[in-house]
A and B are shown apart, each in its own frame.
Chain A
Amino acid sequence: MPSIDPVTVEVIQNRLTQIALEAGIALQRTAASATVVEAKDLGFNVCDHLARTVVYSVWMPRHGTTLSHMLRSTIRAFGQEGIRPGDMFLTNDPYAGALHVNDIAVISPVHVGDELIAWTACATHHLDVGAATPGLNPYATDWHQEGIVIPPTRLMDGGKLREDVFQLFLRNVRLPGYQALDLKGQIAANNVARTKIVELAKRYGLETLKATYDDIIAHSEVKTVARIRQLPPGRYEATDYLDFDRKYTLRCTLVVEADNLTFDFTGTDPQAPTFVNSAFACIEANVHNILTCLLLPDIPANEGCFRRVKVVIPEGTLFNCRPPAACSGASVVTGWKAQVLAIKVLSSALLRSPESWRANASWASGAVYPTLSGPDHYGAKSGLPLASHTTLHGGGARATIDGLDVSNVAGSTNTSVPNIESTEYRYPVLFLERRFTRDGEGAGKYRGGFGGEFTVVPYGAEGLDLHSWLIGSRVPPDGVEGGQPGATSAIVIKQKTDVWQRMTESVPSFVELSGKADVARPVNKPMSLGANDALHVRCQGGGGFGDPRERDPALVQRDVAEGLVSPERARRVYGVVFAPDTLDVDEAATRRLRRRSRRKV
């Protein structure tokens, strides 16, 4: 390795990170779909000429790993001689490394003259890829029912867009208007990065740039190893469950040994006959995602962080399915579950280390997918992606602080939900409420974050079609060290309610509406939502950390005064007693109750 001065390395590394950031901005500002523009579900990598990731996705982190898999698949498919200046490649094949079919990657080589000097890669979630149902297909039994699968394919040929491929894609999706802009945005993002990397190479020279790549990766590896050394060697095991068409068992064992980590998912159930499976790359991506956020948040993320990390998954299981298994649910079902398992095993190692303060209880991981469709205000038939409103998941409690309220899942660090006004502006619905779920936190010495819930009714449309499925309605996010689980998720429907009579005077909450509450199953047949029907959706709360009876009574009192926790729950779960008709903590009674309940346990 040629030696290179530490100043130049620092300057180039900062510049490369900036380039990835600017490319993401370019995509966001040109794309159309709310998933990109508002939820910022995108990834952008800068990789070196050897396809090693030098800047791991600065946007949604887990795209970093899958982009790296897709880049390698692309190189395998086309060979060095098939990759020319000005080319770009398109793929969304889970078996080539995509998170799931909806995450479409555009990958671009970067050349100076004829010499390959780097790669850039951009992924974003497309709302539709032409599955049997709009969006994800929860009824799929094999991958052919999940939409168009594109193996690595040339999209730009020597700087020219291949209109045939572009049209092939648009003809297969339900929202060609949005998705044409999204895909063009991905091309623009790669263009922005490519131009800037070429400038960088011309300025510092290729040899310096290549030496810098090595240094950047080695630097992160050294720091990662130092962090791994703080974990006591040993095996750390965790089990979790996935509730869909049935309850699946998921297992992970973390082996810490000699500067290396192995996440071994042996013991996880065989692959399912439906869409909740995942190919290998998606699970590895979610493990890497948690590593960067939980263990290595202060270390520049690149290939160096993952060299000492091995992910082992037996083939033919839920976490590493074989074709033709359906796996479009991988991103939000299996992938999020893998995040929780990674949090569990890493936290259990951390709790036995000097870094115990980093440990987390389980974050909410239950995907909730109600999709309404019908004519929009422009008369076009469209799907209302209510899923962008269902990221109101509660964060897991931390070893020394409460969990984040409505945080989204652990690894989705870049997200936001739409305003109600912008949703009502586009789609024929009216919201009756959107709030924190009272008593929905996983109780603990440090409590989990509250999840959120909302209620919508059709408005300006006779009726809407509802497809729905959800995870986590039976299996909640776990607490640790005596902490309790958070609330489960739910989709509930009331038909033929008195909503419009009530609306003449007040804005009713879901519980106030007349009608029988029908709780949806994890996966449901399509149904129609009539003008007087109401749909209620609840997201999970985060798990708690430590015994709730050790929680500072003043903090319990604050949550009660804020209306987040009921006085009954304060007494029953936290053992906090208030003086009659007040919110003043009765300290003597609280001590007595806490002593008594401890004895009972």
Chain B
Amino acid sequence: MGFLVGIDVGGTFTDGAVVTESGEVRLFKTPTVLQEPSQGFINCLDRAARAFGLSLAGFLAQVDKLTYGTTLATNLLLEGGTARTALITTRGFRDTLPMARVGREYLGMDLQAQRPPPLVPRRLILEVSERVDRQGRVITPLNGKDVAACLDRLRQEGVQAVAVCLLWSFKHPEHERALREEVQRALPGTYVSISSEVAPMMGEYERTATVVLNSMLGPPVAAHLRRLVQELQDSGLRRPLLIMQSTGGVVPAEDASIRPVTLANSGPAGGLVACRYLGELLGIKDVIGVDMGGTSFDASLITDGEYAVNMVSRIKGNTAYVPMLDIHSVGAGGGSIARVDQGRLKVGPQSAGAQPGPACYGRGGSEPTVTDADLVLGRLDPDYFLAGEMPLNVGLAREAISERVARPLGMDTVQAAAGICRIVDAHMADAMSTVTIQRGYDPRRYTMIAFGGAGGVHASAIARELGIQTVIVPYLATVQSAFGIVASDIVHSLSLGAVADLDDAGAIARSYEALERQGTQLLEREGVAPEDRDLRRFADIRYRMQAHEVTIPVPLGVLGQAEVSALAAEFERRYEELYGPGTVFHQAGLEVVTFRVEAVGRTRRPQLRKYPYGGNDASPARKGARSVFFEGSFLDTPIYDADKLTPGNRFDGPAVVEYVGTTALVHPYQSAEVDPYLDLVLRAR
């Protein structure tokens, strides 16, 4: 047994979390090296090694698990640097990608709308004659002359990567495979991915977008990971480097290089993995994780211990078959700007960002933000923001709110600040209501876990809007993501688009067999011991005439007629739960659209240390008092130092608990209790 290490490379900081054998968590923060992220990664490890009095080699030799969360793919898509990519498609269908199925719904109502720039310019979309039908039968074989002409064009254009998506290829992958071989033979070193491997599912537009994004990301992601793995191995790492995907599971670096599109939005996944981990630890199965930072508010559900996952995602202006944790993001955060529009108070979506930031940062920002409102209301301590590293200017905050909001609305400054908070809290509650209704659940059954810099200040107000009783502010709130990365398992999400009637038990069994074979092979290759392997089956089922599927877990083992009937019943139960009584329509018949298997390789997970009971008296942690605004008036409010609280401590609101990177508000209607892991549990009294 050795160290479990998670490194989370963000835009500004690289966070490291090291869990020791005794379950102690040590945290390290180093600046991100933007030009060469692997440098920042090594620096962070170096810092950790020294903290344990070890050389880098000595430390790495004792590392039992090293996981890596990276925004590299996200940044490449956002800021450029992806590979120049060509697309090969079936003759006649060159415009599948640029047409994007019309897709006006994503462009908004304004007649001035514009499409996002194309992923591949039309001149780099090449056609070959070949045609397969809905049952996978070849109508037109792959045309050799077309292939030769296509290779000539690729040579002339000098692309770094090629994506291949042919009609019905998930039913008959041979043409795509042949094309890949031809391209690799003619242009050695070119990165090629094919849709029947990256996203073997029905729907040629989404499949094309997925494989194109994958090829665009392939060369830079693969190069980065190759360098990093080499460097780590040279420095003494003996375990595989595991990479965080946007589903909350990790895969070894070589798999991530083959399917880099699975990293596309992996940034927020770590935080949610930590939420689930914490939920398991505390015996809570239904969790809403909320992460509120400076510019965005992310909310996501964990129901019965399972993440909510979207099988289809929007990436770089396109719709792709990339499974992702369903994280609902709203442009609302501490930096959201408040303004008056025709006598109406509006908050966001414009944000002051980090530069110039809220008025109270004193960096020249003159527009009032949510952080300014929090400060005016006494919720933040101007002298203890980022543990005092960044003093805030209350005068500037007050001035901005008074000038821009209070005066135009004829309110006093405090009323205006309270109004700003009410609007932003309600807005976030609305967003969470959408998340739950889309999934067919009632928010009241959930416990909220709030993290991120601004989460603890606003969480309780949002929870109250939604009727949520309990809010937890985890002790690791500000490094939640790095910790989550340590806690994740290997997960290969495999799928097969092969529409079948739900009564065809034989076809269903064969589909799962094929996927499970593939999953087992992957885990075997990665050296996961048989007892640590877990296969989980799912099926996307729908009424025969519908276009929306519901994903249902499927039992392992033999699937006979009885099991299949049970599946149908489970679908209808879940369907009614989602859409309300009376919506099932049995006569329509059921079909399976996509078979899914999750091949899980359980890795060693951190065992968090339980701290000893410290009695219910919290007064030793009390560091002072100040006047804080709660529901209509300022109250004299005790302030607690989070680092001095011990398990069992209890106190009633109003109270403020201050952490190094965040602040938690305990409302007058709440009581707070510290759990054995030092998390703050807030309950309505």
A9 to B419, CA, bound (A): 11
A507 and B140: CB pair below 8 A? yes
Does A413 have its Cβ within 8 Å of any Cβ on chain B? yes
Is A297's CB within 8 Å of the partner chain B? yes
- Check A219/B422 contact, CB under 8 A, given A26-B437, A425-B499: no
Do A177 and B545 contact each other (CB < 8 Å), given the known contacts A9-B344, A26-B579, A503-B140?
yes
Q: Is the beta-carbon distance between B342 and A222 smaller than 8 angstroms?
A: yes
Q: Beta-carbon contacts of A447-470 to B below 8 Å, as 1s and 0s?
A: 000001001000110000000000
Q: At the interface with chain A, which of B176-184, B426-434, B451-459, B510-518? A: B426-434
* Chain B, residue nearest A564 (CB): B122
**In this complex, what residue of A is CB-closest to B169?**
A421
Which 6 A-B pairs have CB atoms at the shortest separation, nearest pair first?
A433-B92, A7-B419, A297-B110, A506-B129, A562-B122, A507-B91
In the assembled complex, B1 has its CB within 8 A of some CB on chain A: no
A103 close to chain B: CB less than 8 A: no
Task: State whether A503 touches B105 (Cβ < 8 A).
Answer: no
Is A181 in contact with B105, judged by CB distance below 8 angstroms?
no
A52 located at the interface, meaning its Cβ lies under 8 Å from any Cβ of chain B in the complex: no
Binds A, one of B112-120, B273-281, B602-610: B112-120
Contact A452–B543 (Cβ < 8 Å): no
Binds A, one of B93-101, B227-235, B297-305, B667-675: B93-101
CA distance in complex: A228, B206 (Å): 42
CB-CB under 8 A for A28 and B548, given A181-B588, A421-B167, A563-B122: yes
Q: Given A6-B343, A184-B583, A223-B342, A11 and B131 touching (CB < 8 A)?
A: no
- Render B112-156 as a binary contact track against A, CB cut-off 8 A, 1 for contact: 111100000111000001110110000110010010000000000
Residues of A1-18 contacting chain B, CB below 8 A: 5-7, 9-11, 14-15, 18
Decide yes or no whether A584 CB sits under 8 A from chain B. no
Task: Tell me if B57 is interfacial: C-beta within 8 Å of chain A.
Answer: no
A184-B582, A188-B583, A434-B93 known; A405 vs B345 contact (CB < 8 Å): no
Beta-carbon contact of B202 and A11 below 8 Å:
no
B113 lies within 8 A of A181 (CB): no
CB-nearest residue of chain A to B418: A7
Q: What's the minimum C-beta distance from A364 to chain B, rounded to whole angstroms?
A: 12
> Is B111 touching A219 in the complex (CB atoms < 8 A)?
no
Q: Mark B556-599, 1 if CB is under 8 A from A, else 0.
A: 00000000000000000000001110110101100000000000
Assess A407 versus B102: contact at CB under 8 Å? Given A181-B588, A184-B583, A293-B111. yes
Instruction: Give Cα distance in the complex from A430 to B587, angstroms.
Output: 28
Complex: how many Å from CA A405 to CA B97? 12
**Are the CB atoms of B579 and A15 closer together than 8 Å?**
no
The interface residues of chain A lying within 8 Å CB-to-CB of B409 are: 6
Contact (Cβ within 8 A) B545 A178: yes
Is B226's beta carbon under 8 Å from chain A? no
Chain B residue nearest in CB terms to A297: B110
Q: Which of B92, B104, B114, B580 contacts A434 (CB 8 A)?
A: B92
- Selected contact of A21 from candidates B123, B343, B434, CB within 8 Å: B434
A487 to chain B, nearest CB (A): 15
Taking CB atoms, residues of chain A closer than 8 Å to B578 are 29
Partner of A401, one of B114, B139, B345, B544: B114
The answer to whether B123 touches A561 (Cβ under 8 A) is yes
A124 at the interface (CB under 8 A from B): no
Given known A-B contacts A11-B423, A434-B95, A506 and B140 have beta carbons under 8 A apart = yes
CB of B438 closer than 8 Å to a CB of A: yes
Is B203's CB within 8 Å of the partner chain A? yes
User: Per-residue CB proximity of A166-185 to B under 8 Å, as 1/0?
Assistant: 00000000000110110011
Which residues from B are CB-within-8-Å of A420? 93, 96, 167, 204
Asked if B140 contacts A32 (CB within 8 A), the reply is: no
A404 to B545, CA, bound (A): 32
Judge whether A413 and B426 touch: CB under 8 Å.
no
CB-CB under 8 A from B580, the residues of chain A are 26, 30, 188, 191-192
Query: Does B659 touch A at the CB level, under 8 Å?
Result: no
B82-97 interface (Cβ within 8 A of A): 90-96
Cβ of B547 within 8 Å of any chain A Cβ, yes or no, is yes
Partner of A459, one of B94, B101, B133, B206: B133
Please tell me which stretch of A34-42, A89-97, A146-154 contacts chain B, meaning at least 4 of its Cβ atoms lie within 8 angstroms of it: A34-42
Report chain A residues within 8 Å CB of B130.
Answer: 507
A425 to B547, CA, bound (A): 12
Q: Give Cα A71–Cα B109 distance, bound, in whole angstroms.
A: 24
Bitwise interface map of A from 37 to 59 toward B, beta carbon under 8 Å scored 1, else 0: 11010000000000000000000
Smallest CB–CB gap between A287 and chain B, Å?
14
Interface residues of A (CB under 8 A from B): 5-7, 9-11, 14-15, 18, 21-22, 25-26, 28-34, 37-38, 40, 61, 161, 177-178, 180-181, 184-185, 187-188, 191-192, 219, 222-223, 292-294, 297-298, 343, 357-358, 360, 378, 391-392, 395, 398, 401, 404-408, 410, 412-422, 424-425, 430-436, 452, 455, 459-460, 503-507, 509, 561-564
- How many Å from the CB of B507 to the closest CB on chain A? 15
Residue of A nearest to B206 (CB): A419
13 contacts between A and B (CB under 8 A): A6-B343, A6-B409, A7-B418, A10-B344, A15-B430, A32-B545, A185-B583, A297-B111, A297-B112, A358-B111, A436-B99, A460-B133, A503-B131
Is B104 within 8 A of A177, CB to CB? no
Are the CB atoms of B112 and A177 closer together than 8 Å? no
**Do the beta carbons of B548 and A37 come within 8 Å of each other?**
yes
* Cβ–Cβ contact B433 & A506, under 8 A: no
Q: Is the CB of A435 within 8 A of B140?
A: no
CB distance from B120 to the nearest CB of A (A): 11
B111 touches A360 (CB 8 A): yes
Least CB distance, B314 to chain A, in whole angstroms: 13
Distance to closest chain A CB from B522 (angstroms) = 27
Q: Is B103 an interface residue (CB 8 A)?
A: yes
A427 nearest CB neighbor, chain B only: B134
Residue of A nearest to B105 (CB): A414
With A25-B438, A177-B545, A404-B113 as contacts: A435 and B94 at CB distance below 8 Å: yes
Complex CA gap A503/B137 in Å reads 13
Are A391 and B111 CB-contacts (below 8 A) given A15-B426, A435-B94, A503-B131? no
Q: B104 touching A180 by the CB < 8 A rule?
A: no
Q: How far is the CA of A412 from the CA of B548 in the complex (A)?
A: 22
Is B344 a contact of A358 with CB atoms below 8 Å?
A: no
CB-defined contacts of B109 to chain A, threshold 8 Å: 61, 292-293, 297, 413
Residues on A with C-beta less than 8 A from B587 are 177
Question: Quick check: A505 and B346 within 8 Å, CB to CB?
Answer: no
Q: Which residues of B lie under 8 Å from residue A222 when comparing CB positions?
A: 342
Is B108 positioned at the interface, with any CB of A under 8 Å from its CB?
yes
Is there an interface contact between B437 and A192, defined as CB atoms closer than 8 Å?
A: yes
Closest residue on chain A to residue B429 by CB atoms: A15
B123 contact set on A, CB distance < 8 A: 561-563
The reply to whether B204 and A419 contact each other, CB–CB distance below 8 Å, is: yes
A10 with B346, Cβ < 8 A, contacts A32-B546, A505-B129, A506-B146 known: yes
The answer for the CA separation of A539 and B72 in the assembled complex, in Å, is 41
Contact with A along B153-164 (1 / 0, CB 8 A): 000000000000
Residues in B neighbouring A294, C-beta threshold 8 A: 111
Contact of B114 among A37, A404, A562 (CB under 8 A): A404
Q: Told that A18-B433, A181-B543, A415-B102 touch, could you supply 6 new A-B pairs with CB distance under 8 A?
A: A6-B409, A32-B585, A40-B105, A185-B583, A434-B96, A452-B99
In the assembled complex, the Cα of A506 lies from the Cα of B142 at a distance in Å of 8
Known: A18-B434, A181-B543, A562-B122. A415 touches B104 (CB 8 A): yes
Q: CA of A399 to CA of B616 in the docked complex: distance in angstroms?
A: 70
* B653 to A: closest C-beta gap in Å: 22
Could you tell me the distance in whole angstroms from the C-beta of A39 to the nearest C-beta in chain B?
Answer: 9
CB pair B139–A452 under 8 Å, yes or no, is no
- Report yes or no: A6 in contact with B112, Cβ–Cβ below 8 A: no
Complex CA distance for A436 and B139, rounded to whole angstroms? 24
Question: Is B168 an interface residue when CB atoms closer than 8 A count as contact?
Answer: yes
Any chain A CB within 8 A of the CB of B107? Answer: yes
| B102–A413 touching, CB < 8 Å | no
Q: Which chain B residue shows the least CB distance to A301?
A: B109
Q: Does B205 contact A (CB under 8 A)?
A: yes
